[in-house]
Amino acid sequence: MIKINNLSKIFRTDLIETHALRQINLQVNEGEFAALTGPSGSGKSTLLNVLGTLESFDQGDYLLDGRSVKGLSDRELSALRNEKIGFIFQGFNLIKDFSLFDNIELPLRYRGFSAAERKRRVEQALETVGLAARRDYHPSQLSGGQQQRVAIARAIAGEPRILLADEPTGNLDSLMARQVMELLEKINQQGCTILMVTHDPDQARRANRHIQIVDGQLNDATMYEPLASEPLVAGA
């Protein structure tokens, strides 16, 4: 699914060069739920951004579904992000003026779906995250956990092959974090590959693969057994 070979990323200023990623090799297979951990500044978010094609890289190659993203045009990269990748951000990144429906619908518009198809997908995604009754609410009317579930609905509405989650529970309390994690596990069980950056060892333990990054280099030796899912708390 994801294969990167000898990938390096350097941030340059006039005075300094920072090697954010050094000669990274990584393969993530279809259906995996991988947790990417590491200390602050280790390069985990940079790696996630490179994988999400939000960031370019300097050396090496990145193959998504067997196709190199190197040299792709802006339009091709945008289409790739839109069709194959779903993003979940720590800060949710919902548009506050939009209703939940409009927020989830946004990436589907860029894909050129008809209004009917968009509606079907949005309603299905809202159903999946348990917010179908609140489709006309605005983000400010929701709790943090609910907002993150809307963001997840937005990410999965286009039925992407891979979800990239950057500290998806970082802004949530433990109860809401657990609900979000359970939702991600459910999505993963339906076949969607997930790569999640997290600081939290407990969250990382819920993934079935643990990838550690330190000083821009990978240590991919640990494999966790998935934890038994805990039930959702009603009314969240």
Partner 1 sequence: MEALLHNLKLSWFSIKRAPLPYALTLLILSLGLGTFFSNATLYYWMNRDPIPQKSATLFMARINSTPGDCTDCFEPPRVMSYMDMQKMSGSGIPSAEAAMFSSDAYAKTVENQQATPSQVELRVTQRDFFKLFDVPFLHGETWPDNKARMEVVISKNTALKFFSRTDVVGQEMLIDDKLYKVIGVLDDWAMLPRLYDVNGRRSAEPAEDIYIPLETAYDLAIQSNTQNSYFDVDWDGNMATYPQMARTNFANQLQFWVQLDSPEKVQQYQQFLKNLVADEKAAGRHTRPESNKLDNILDVQKAMRATNEQLDAFALVASLFLLVCVVNASHLSLNRYMANQYEFSLRRALGASRWQLQGQILADVLFSSVLAFAAALLFAQLGLWTINSLLPSTRALAGWDWQMVAVMALFVVLISYLVTLYPALKTSFSPLNQQLKQ
Which residues of this protein are in contact with partner 1, per CB under 8 A?
A: 45-46, 49, 52, 54-55, 74-75, 78-79, 81-83, 87, 89-91, 93, 95, 97-98, 106-107, 109-111, 115, 154, 158, 166
Q: Is the Cβ of residue 42 or residue 49 nearer to partner 1 in the bound state? A: 49
Token pair 């999640």 in the structure block, residue? 196
Query: In the beta sheet, which residues pair with residue 64?
Result: 2, 67
Q: Is the Cβ of residue 95 or residue 214 nearer to partner 1 in the bound state? A: 95
Q: Is the Cβ of residue 51 or residue 209 nearer to partner 1 in the bound state? A: 51
Q: Is the Cβ of residue 14 or residue 74 nearer to partner 1 in the bound state? A: 74
CA atoms within 13 Å, Cβ hemisphere of 67: 8
Shortest distance in whole angstroms from residue 233 CB to partner 1: 26
Q: Is the Cβ of residue 81 or residue 209 nearer to partner 1 in the bound state? A: 81
Shortest distance in whole angstroms from residue 189 CB to partner 1: 24
Shortest distance in whole angstroms from residue 18 CB to partner 1: 14
Q: 16: part of which helix (H) or strand (E)?
A: none
Shortest distance in whole angstroms from residue 87 CB to partner 1: 5
- DSSP string covering 148-184: HHHHHHHHHHT--SEEEEESTTTTS-HHHHHHHHHHH
**Strand residues in 29-89 grouped as ranges (E):** 33-37, 59-64, 67-68, 85-88
Shortest distance in whole angstroms from residue 166 CB to partner 1: 7
| Spatial contact of 149 and 127, defined as CB atoms under 8 Å apart | no
